[in-house]
Structure 1
Amino acid sequence: MTDYATLFRSLAAHSQCVYFAYDPVSRQVTYVSPAYEHVLGGDSSRVNAELGRWQQLLHPDDWDYLQEQVALVLSGRPAVEDVELRLRHPDGRRQWLCLTLCRPAAEGEGELLTGTVQDITRVKEYMSNADKFNAKKNATLEILSHDLSGPLLVVQQLAEHVAEQAKNYSNPALDELVRLMRTTCQDSVDLIRDFVNQEFLESANVELKLARLNLVSHLRVLLNNYRDAQHLLDKRIGFTTNAEAIYVYIDDNKFQQVINNLISNALKFTPDGGRIEVHVEERAGRVRVSVQDTGIGIPAKLQPVLFDKFTKARRPGLRGERTIGLGMSVIRTLVLLHDGNISFTSEEGRGTTFIIDLPTVADEQLAHRGPQ
């Protein structure tokens, strides 16, 4: 019979992955592979003495999360995978670890837990930079769309005025030039919006990649991009929260697209000098994100069909921005894929508030789903 322990001993000795066995009754590590020393910088012979130090280095928000995942395995779940944890070292360095934990199937092992730990710091740093770039890209597209469309629409309106005044001249050449000015401006505005809309619609055709993250810090990065351009948008954009750390399982890029689209709509239907407020709060095991504007509101007759695909509720913005009518339908689909729901209240002449409710990481359904 093949001795698998001997077969894999060499792999464990040279792997960058830390293998371990832990007895939760005695709270002792009964085995740790050599990778412990170069991945975590510890001393294998003193691993149990160093457990207290690892707990001190663990991010406070991650300690409860780790205990919840261990409890899931001890209560009968076979394994938990991709449990991402943060260590805060004294020199200011942040290290990301990925934990997998399971209960051996062998009889006589009692409550013994086995698992692996990998250093994913480089991957997380890369993803963080990519997410920041994506958030800035999306916000920049919306801001450029708003700024580039404005002057073109002004030229279009001037062309319409010239066309009205030129009726008495009976000059076909002049009429044709004015027509070209009007159609060129409108085509340019449509092209800008089509580009931004396509960026958004493509996001709905990709499988969600859920990850546990602090929604407050991620929304703050996104909103800061808009707030930096407030002087260009002629709107005031605010962000408030009732907590600095609210954890959810979401696809960061897709959820940013949802918020970007809601802000885009608010920009289109809020007059210059108006306000757009984004607020996030945790309440009764749910997270609520609201996007409120002081715009023109949604007519009562259009509200029942707002989330329909190719809805009749589509309408041009205050500057003539075109809409394809798919935006709100895609937003609702993305929110539902996150096990959330979206609703709104609106009054003509006073503004609109969109409300998104999401489960927190403590939600029972997501706790059994596990990290993605």
Structure 2
Amino acid sequence: MPDPVVQFQHLVEEIPSVFFVYDLPSQRITYVNAAYEQMWNGHRKQVNEELPALLARLHPDDQEYAADCFARLCTGLLRENVELRLLGPNEEVQWLCVRASLYRPADSSPSVSGFIDDITVEKAYHQNAEKFNTKKNSTLEILSHDLAGPLQLMHNLTGQLHQQLQAHPDPHLHELLRIITTTCSESIDLIHDFVDNEFLESSSVELKRERVNLVERVGIMVDNYCRTELTLALKFTLETSAPSIYASIDENKFLQVLNNLVGNAIKFTPAGGHIRVGLHENPDHVLVTVADDGIGIPADLQDGLFDKFTRARRPGLRGEKSTGLGMSIVHTIVLLHQGRIWFESEEGHGTTFYIELPKGL
């Protein structure tokens, strides 16, 4: 038993976290505290015999990831906490957080030691919060079109009515029309300002990255849009190259990026159009696409699209306004993820945005 463990054994034995020491040359666990028996109903004296069965319970999506993390840990390159899933007898999932480090004493063999915590409850809470946050972001984009569209129509019709009644001498009627026009305009601005402010705030906070199954999380977002196909008169689909695709991202910020791109596609795609979100896994990166068959971006507006207050800003087909900041923030968040973004567009034939993300952890 290593001296540090002997020195603090009375403390280690009382903590709820599993503490372990793994000897690298012999590939055996030389110490594990009593929490091991409480967490997995095992026997600490038989931990090396029980270890293969425990590792066999690793979620299939996490096995390669766990092996890569362990390899980096053994070379001293792993610095972050690692979250893994174990499957129970009835396929229930137990989430674990592993905090470990490499120990290389001068007078004895190298070892890996660390703590393992059961974070199942915290993870379930976090995933539910992110699920509803994802729905919130897509719902805001939907509402910005669903609510602002009729108000814009009323604003335009009131303007036409005002012109036709120019010869009418009733000042009270003209004042009522002015009030309706002003109210519609202010309401439209309020809706779009609220959505824009939600997105602007996302670029001012440091990234909180974690390993995320993009198929699952983006699927929730797209499903929310699919529920509004009749209302928006648009079709939404998700295309993936695998059932599960993982990347290290700040989930909230990255999904806001996708919501912004889908929102722009809605703005510039006429009724009956099709918006497709794609996820394609490659050896070292994930390619995310958002494609539409809308009106496209004119060639003379394509340069500088990701600049702040770009001259490419223009109102949507239903009168939606643009601050010119959206694409700049999208570009910033993608760069913060060490990714890159570009697009292809032809006027009258739609636009496709591409985001290349490193797979990370």
Same fold (TM over 0.5): yes
Which residue matches 2:307? Answer: 308
Work out the CA distance in 1 between the residues paired with 2:203 and 2:47. Answer: 46
What is the identity, as a one-letter code, of the residue corresponding to 2:36? Y
Q: In the alignment, what sits opposite 1:139?
A: 138
Residue of structure 1 in register with 2:31 after alignment:
31
- Match of residue 83 from structure 2: 84
Alpha-carbon distance, 1:7 to partner: 4.7
State the 4+ residue runs in structure 1 displaced beyond 4 angstroms. Answer: 3-7
3-state SS, counterpart of residue 140 of structure 1:
helix
For residue 25 of structure 2, what is the amino acid of its counterpart? V
* 1:6 Cα deviation from its structure 2 partner: 4.9
SS at match of 2:296: coil
1:364 matched to which residue of 2?
A: none
Using the size of structure 1 for normalisation, the TM-score is 0.93
Q: Distance in 1 between matches of 2:46 and 2:58?
A: 18
Task: Identify the residue that residue 46 of structure 1 maps to in structure 2.
Answer: 46
The answer to whether the 8 Å contact 1:163/1:175 transfers is: yes
**Contact 1:101-1:113 within 8 A present in 2 as well:** yes
Tell which deviates more after alignment, 282-291 or 104-113: 104-113
Q: TM-score, normalised by structure 2?
A: 0.95
- The equivalent residue for 1:159 is 158
Secondary structure, counterpart of 1:301 in structure 2: helix
CA contact (8 A) 1:139 1:222 kept: yes
Aligned length: 359
The Cα shift of 1:233 comes to 1.3
Structure 1 residue runs of 5 or longer lacking an equivalent are: 362-366, 368-372
Do the aligned partners of residues 147 and 76 (structure 1) sit closer, same or farther apart at CA in structure 2, a change above 3 Å counting?
Answer: closer
Q: Which runs of 5+ in 2 are unaligned?
A: none
Which AA in structure 2 matches 1:212?
Answer: R
Alignment of 1:17 onto 2:17: yes
Deviations 1:96-131 (A, max 9, x none): 111122222322332322121111111111110110
Aligned equivalents of 1:284 and 1:91: distance in 2?
A: 32
Task: State the shift of 1:182 in Å.
Answer: 1.4
Other-structure match for 2:356:
357
- Larger deviation, residues 321-330 vs 66-75: 66-75
Give the conservation status (yes or no) of the 8 Å contact 2:86–2:95. Answer: yes
In structure 2, what is the equivalent of residue 279 of structure 1?
Answer: 278
Instruction: Give 1:92-103 correspondences, 5 Å limit.
Output: 92-103=91-102
Tell me the CA shift for residue 351 of structure 1: 0.8
Shift of 1:37: 1.1
CA RMSD of aligned residues (A): 1.5
CA distance in 1, matches of 2:52, 2:184: 67
Describe the SS at the equivalent of 2:223: helix
Q: Determine what percentage of the aligned residue pairs are the same residue.
A: 48
Please state whether the residue corresponding to 1:184 is helix, strand or coil: helix
Shift of 1:295: 1.0
Note the alpha carbon deviations across 1:326-352, whole angstroms, 9 max, x for none.
000000000000000000111111111
